[in-house]
Amino acid sequence: MGKSPLTFFVLRKATVSVSEFTLGISPTPNHRGAARWIAAHALRHWPVVLLAFGGAFGNAALAGMIPILLGEAFNLITGSSPSFQRLIQIALLISLAYVARAGLQFFRGAGFELVAQRVERDIRKELYVNLLGKSMTFHNLQPVGDTMARATNDVREINFLFSPGLGLVVGSLNFLIMPVLLATRYHSTLVIVPLIFIGLYGWSLSRYLKSLAPLTDEVRVSFGKMNMRLAEALDGIETVKGASQEKGELERFLLNSRRYRNALVHQGNIEAKFIPLLLLQIALGAGLLHALLLYSQGLLTLGDAVAYFNLLLLLDFPTFISLFAYSQISLGLAGGRRILELMRQETYLDQNIQGYSLPVHGEVEFRDVCLSYENDDCSLRDISFTVKPGQMTAIVGQTGSGKTSLIRLINRTYDATDGQVLVDGVDVRNWNLETLRRNISVIEQDIFLFSRSIRDNIAFGCPDATREEVERAARSAQAHEFIQAMPEGYDTVIGERGVTLSGGQRQRIALARAFLVDPKILILDDSTSAIDSETEDRIQRAIFAAARGRTTFIITHRLSQIRWADLIIVLGKGRISTIGTHEELLQTSEVYRRIFQE
């Protein structure tokens, strides 16, 4: 027996993207690392990136020009015959430089902000498409709260990586090189202090980032766990309140919140030990001393010494800003790693765009099908049967016998571990997945409805359906009367998951949604369990009317539905215990008679 679907899902790290649906959108090809992946997104907007870099370099160049002009002005003032005309020119040049710097800073800031917003948009889109393409195997294992944390906050951290993070870093790095480029105009040895500072700055920054990386990872992970616990508590608030576990949930949330706080405090401790701040003060003192020594030897004028010291002051901006900016970049990279970790968890279900896509007639066949999960325990074993087009098949058995697992193989929610599931004689793996699923409607016991109007929920599978078609489907599902009694009829917006409706109302809307799609294969997974006897009788007639001309599978414990099925499959411990019609099984199967008598 081959690897189970869940085991295969956990182990696979595909180099080629495999997903159920790509929606025609190609992912960013460079997934070898978070930095390269983010850079690949940014380079899609290279004109804006060039504009931002140009603004950053131009701003730094003008910032380096101002100390030179100040030094010249100082020499003129202290000289024996100052030129007031030149002083006025210098004043105007300095004023123009500040005005130009303001414009260049705008281009730098606006450029990086624009790149940040575009990259955030593109990454959200890529991640959302990737999540839509994941199989139910993935979504059953991945906590929703953690996914939401990655899809919202981690993506937002990538935005902050560019603006203000990378914007400040690029701008400040240009300030580092200006003292090195311009100091030699006064004396060749004046380049020593800024060069030593840059070397020590790079070394200390490398150590800082190395110690910061695991902490920023922990910050993002702990935030994800806190968010996951919060989402679970809110999603299950009815259970929490019903069991009076508010205090227990609060304690669990506070425990996760404390872990998140501790990670942030630890990050703050690392940032408080930022060595470049100390190195800057030493560099300023050493540079001033060096300039004064040269001045005392007559190798520098007083204005040159002032200009040089002001050039050294340019190191102030990159040093102070790196304390915040590099932390933001580290958080953005941590967020990128978490998003890539999510996206790299590939499944073995493939969209199979080139697959079989002819009209579906509805024949379903299982050939020696086995399905096993992560623990290698078989959920289904040696399942074989054939259902002809238009037949109604009832699947019965005790809880845990594998009924739901069996029907989920038909639309490839899962793939069989061994054996074949065929629709119209074609293995479901060879079907175009979209074509296959558009012809199969599944109505489960736990109905999911969106926070939209009733009409939108019914028309979810057919967004272009007319009002008349929606109402016709609702009448077929015995839902029209209660919908008309709602405050705004079909335009009434229901709460999340349909919490404002009763269980029977939710299931009738789900039936209407299935009737509107008009599938060739209809699967009802205990879908009338929350309906009263009077409504069940009406829906029973609607189901039989809807079943005409299509293959129908019913998982149910209601004998009124079982007895009219063309074929009844009795499951026990993942195997077919017996199979036949109602009359045949009453005569030949003690297991079926026992179920019927219960």
Sheet of 418-423, strands arranged across: 378-387, 364-372, 418-423, 426-427
Helix (H) or strand (E) run with residue 386 in it: strand 378-387
Domains parsed from the chain with CATH numbers: 16-344 (1.20.1560.10), 364-597 (3.40.50.300)
Q: Is the pLDDT of residue 279 over 70?
A: yes
Distances (CA, A) of 204 to 194, 214, 263, 272: 15, 17, 22, 13
- Is the pLDDT assigned to residue 391 strictly greater than 50? yes
pLDDT at 27: 57
Bigger pLDDT: 152 or 535? 152
Residue with tokens 């409607």: 441
* Residue 238 pLDDT grade (very low, low, confident, very high; cuts 50, 70, 90): low
Q: Give me the residue label for tokens 């060039």.
A: 50
Contacts of 102 (CB under 8 A, 6+ apart): none
**pLDDT over 60 at 379, yes or no:** yes
pLDDT at position 19 over 90: no
CA gyration radius, the chain: 35
When pLDDT is cut at 50, 70 and 90, the band that residue 173 belongs to is confident
pLDDT over threshold 60, residue 18 = no
φ/ψ of 40, rounded to 5, equals: -60, -40
pLDDT at 28: 57
Q: What is the pLDDT of residues 117-139, one digit of tens each?
A: 999 999 998 888 888 877 777 77
| 441 SS3 class | strand
Note the pLDDT tens digit of each residue in 550-567.
Answer: 898 988 777 777 877 889
Q: Which residue has the higher pLDDT, 242 or 469?
A: 469
User: Quick one: pLDDT at residue 263?
Assistant: 87
* pLDDT at residue 10 in the model: 35
CA distance 586 to 568: 11
Question: Mean pLDDT highest for which of 20-24, 448-452, 527-531?
Answer: 448-452
pLDDT confidence tier of residue 294, bands split at 50, 70 and 90? very high
Give the residue among 466, 461, 437, 436 at the shortest CA–CA distance from 513.
Answer: 461
CA dist 193 and 557 (Å) reads 85
CA distance 77 to 66: 16
Task: Please check whether residue 318 is in contact with residue 243, taking contact to mean a CB–CB distance below 8 angstroms.
Answer: no
Please tell me the distance from the alpha carbon of residue 526 to that of residue 564, in angstroms, as a whole number: 16
Strand order in the sheet with 521-525: 440-443, 521-525, 551-555, 392-397, 567-572, 575-580
pLDDT above 70 covers a percentage of the chain that reads 87
Q: How far apart are alpha carbons 66 and 438 in whole angstroms?
A: 69
What was the pLDDT predicted at 530? 53
What single-letter amino acid sits at 268? G
Q: Tell me the CA end-to-end span of the chain in Å, nearest whole number.
A: 37
**DSSP count for the chain of H helices, then E strands:** 24, 10
d(CA 442, CA 371): 20
- What is the pLDDT, as a whole number, of residue 377? 64
From the number of C-beta atoms within 10 Å of its C-beta (0-12, 13-18, 19+), residue 13 rates as exposed
Distances, alpha carbon 227 to alpha carbons 38, 109, 137, in Å: 24, 32, 22
The two structure tokens encoding residue 494: 């229901």
DSSP assigned state of 347: -
Q: What is the mean pLDDT of residues 414-430?
A: 90
* Alpha carbon distance 283, 276 (integer Å): 10
Measured over the CA atoms of residue 350, residue 353, residue 358 and residue 360, the dihedral's sign is positive
For the chain, the average pLDDT equals 82
Cβ neighbours, 10 Å, residue 291: 26
> Number of C-alpha atoms within 13 angstroms, CB side, residue 454?
29
pLDDT band of 45, cuts 50, 70, 90: very high
Q: ∠ CA(203), CA(204), CA(207), 5° rounding?
A: 90
**How far apart are the C-alpha atoms of 233 and 255, rounded to whole Å?**
14
588: which residues sit within 8 A by CB, 6+ positions away? 578, 580
- 322 neighbors 172 (Cβ within 8 angstroms): yes
Beta-strand pair 567-572/392-397: parallel
User: Which alpha helices (H) appear in 83-189, and where do they start and end?
Assistant: 84-133, 136-141, 144-149, 155-160, 167-183
Non-local (6+) Cβ contacts of 195 within 8 A are 180
Q: Are 51 and 63 within 8 A, CB to CB? A: no
